[in-house]
Amino acid sequence: MNILERYHAMEYGPAPEARNEADAWLAGRDFSKALFIDGAWKAAASGRTFETSEPSSGKLLGKVADAGAADIDVAVQAAAKALPKWSASSGYARAKVLYAIGRAMQRHQRLFAVLESIDNGKPIRESRDIDVPLAIRHFIHHAGWAQTLEKDLPDHKPVGVVGQVIPWNFPLLMLAWKIAPALAAGCTVVLKPAEFTPLTAILFAEICERAGVPKGVVNIVQGGPEAGAAIVNHPGVQKIAFTGSSEVGKIIRKATAGSGKKLSLELGGKSAFIVFEDADLDSAVEGLVDGIWFNQGQVCCAGSRLLVQEGIAEAFIAKVKVRMSRLRVGSPLDKNTDIGPLVDRTQLDRVKGLIAEGAKQGAVCWQPDAALPSSGYYHLPTLATSVSPANILAQEEVFGPVLATMTFRNTEEAIELANNTRYGLAASVWSENVNLALHVAPQLKAGVVWVNGTNMFDAACGFGGYRESGFGREGGREGMFEYLAAKLPIGPAIKPSAPGSAQPVEQADGTAIDRTAKLFIGGKQVRPDGNYSLAVATAKGKLAGEVGLGNRKDIRDAVAAARACKAWPDATAYNRSQVLYYFAENLSGRADEFAARLVQLTGVTAKAAREEVEQSIERLFLYAGLADKFEGRVHQPPARVVTLALHEPVGVVGIVAPDNQPLLNFI
């Protein structure tokens, strides 16, 4: 065979990453004592363990201590004991600890990467080149925040003991996202990794020992749902930070409602990957590979919905199929592997089930002609075409290497399709027309939008979503607020109102002209759905008047009208400020009338009522002045990109005004 023949016959051979150090580490650990609490290694009080296995082979990696409620209680007590000293330490002292953690992780960078690939199944190129360096970056970045916090945010204090629950798709990176800002803020933590991927968290706990983290500041407990629920429900925890599924996020939100605990949720997603006809198609294809097949598609912000303009759809799909045929599925420790195994058999079965259901609903699924390894939880990259917007593959988070494709005709349709989801985590826009990209990006209902790129993260840039993708931010200045509480001025408490009871209402004057009491919905007065009115009594029990008695249908109509109003969120900040000033101006003109009504309805003195009106006017002036002051920020992460952090409305807000100071509280 001559040189030319050898050139044409060349194929990629295996390029395995050495795992000797990782195997030695695994062999030298007693995972039955894997609970790191108060600076010591402990077994579960119950003696229970759970098994963790290697996704590429199914081989048992170890039996890990399975924490229960009793173990969580000990961990929270340790964190609470360490909190006063840690939170009172100087920013410089905390910065040195965070920096020491980052430097210690750098010294063991290859071990972290190999363990992550063994435990999770992600290709070594991803864990080595993305996950571990970015985790280190978070600790070093937040060392800076620890030292500058007193100057930059002097009116804030640590929120307290933080309970953190992280997922299995990015075990080490999510750990860093959670622990680094918490320690920088002066909080202490109790963190629970996912039971599928406990190993790098155990190694990180060893790093904390070596880096000089004080006992009790970082507590890492392995376990399943029981341990997670115990963290969420523990009364000694002041804040919960959770990354995981939307379904579990809803459970946590219900469990913490009314508890006073601060909460941040980073949940699921169904991100749109929008390709316009003027895009660089080859670059977009490579971006798509990173967007959906990165980490086998097990990414909350995976670009799992491809929206491509009709004029280029056929050519673009052809390029995607060619690129898919060249993706290598295999061992995560092979440096040439593009797609490794899914994390567990249950996840593999779920992906297969969703593909089958999508096909039943009309999707046409295509996979490259490639062989899978004989063992492990592998799945071929899958392209679904002829997908309707209502198809399960277009609506449900698959969390696997599956791409659902749809087409659009114009910009407006692209935006509508992209927003046709209950999620709101991320999106990606591809166009050589910067004006078009900057026009589309702010209209997408997503917390993060990448232009001509995807899955770009940095410790200096906030990441998070809204809708069913959760709330709160990870990273940067925005992320620091999740672990801080405002230092509120101490003043006299508002006197609580007496327990509610129906006041006897005197009969109305029979000679008065009867009018149907109405509600104000959609800019006009409308009759209540039930045509009922509610008598409103004065503080002395006399009839003050009647108001419309709304029901759930009226609430539905009001919410629908609020959602349909585009003029207000699209208005300029200056115009919104003018409206608020106008409110203040008109309230000032009718101050006596409002004060008299407050005296009548609440029974306060005339002076107190007048003060409430004046405070309401002052508050309107304040927010009018702030309306055009909430400007965004420009971040400059290490990568050669520019990040624009823009403020946008959260959406429709429901307000329930109390009996005390009703006007001021409403405003």
User: CA angle at residue 489 from 486 to 492, to 5 degrees?
Assistant: 135
- In DSSP notation, 263-286 reads EEEE-----EEEE-TTS-HHHHHH
CATH topology agreement for domains 30-53+60-107+133-266+480-486 and 571-667: yes
Buried b (16+ CB within 10 A) or exposed e, 201-217: bbbbbebbeebebeebb
> What value does the mean pLDDT take over residues 384-404?
96
Residue 548, amino acid:
G
Q: Is 300 a catalytic residue?
A: yes
The Cα 584–Cα 87 span in angstroms is 42
pLDDT above 80: residue 128: yes
Higher-pLDDT residue of 380, 522:
380
The per-residue pLDDT for 505 is 43
Do 562 and 651 meet the contact criterion of CB atoms below 8 Å apart?
no
Q: Which tokens hold the place of 157?
A: 């204090």
Can you give the residue ranges of every domain in the chain? Answer: 30-53+60-107+133-266+480-486, 272-456, 507-562, 571-667
Handedness of CA 420, 242, 195, 110 (dihedral sign): positive
Please state which CATH class domain 30-53+60-107+133-266+480-486 belongs to.
Answer: alpha beta
The Cα 218–Cα 216 span in angstroms is 6
Residue pLDDT, tens place only, 468-483: 999 999 999 999 999 9
Q: Which tokens hold the place of 98?
A: 């965070």
- Length of the chain, in residues: 667
Q: Which among 572, 311, 639, 276 is positioned nearest to 438, based on CA atoms?
A: 276
- In DSSP notation, 573-589 reads HHHHHHHHHHHHHHHHH
Per annotation, catalytic residue among 54, 126, 187, 300: 300
Per-residue pLDDT band for 87 (boundaries 50, 70, 90) equals very high
Strand order, beta sheet including 382-385:
364-366, 382-385, 402-408, 305-309, 272-275, 426-430, 448-451
Residue pLDDT, tens place only, 591-608: 998 899 888 888 889 999
Which residue's entry shows tokens 């779920």? 350
The per-residue pLDDT for 631 is 74
**% residues pLDDT > 90 (the chain):** 70
Residue pLDDT, tens place only, 58-68: 999 999 999 99
Q: What is the CATH number of domain 272-456?
A: 3.40.309.10
The per-residue pLDDT for 566 is 82
Q: Is 206 a catalytic residue?
A: no
The per-residue pLDDT for 301 is 93
What fold is seen in the domain 571-667?
Answer: Aldehyde Dehydrogenase; Chain A, domain 1 (3.40.605)
Residue pLDDT, tens place only, 236-255: 999 999 999 999 999 999 99
The per-residue pLDDT for 529 is 86
> What value does the mean pLDDT take over residues 280-301?
95
Per-residue pLDDT band for 232 (boundaries 50, 70, 90) equals very high
Q: What is the DSSP letter of 545?
A: E
**Pairing state of beta strands 426-430 and 272-275?**
parallel
Do 96 and 311 meet the contact criterion of CB atoms below 8 Å apart?
no
The per-residue pLDDT for 575 is 87
The Cα 327–Cα 345 span in angstroms is 22
> What value does the mean pLDDT take over residues 314-334?
96
Per annotation, catalytic residue among 54, 126, 195, 266: 266
Per-residue pLDDT band for 515 (boundaries 50, 70, 90) equals low
Distances (CA, A) of 64 to 29, 67, 108, 221: 10, 9, 22, 10
Residue pLDDT, tens place only, 137-186: 999 999 999 999 988 888 899 999 999 999 999 999 999 999 999 999 99
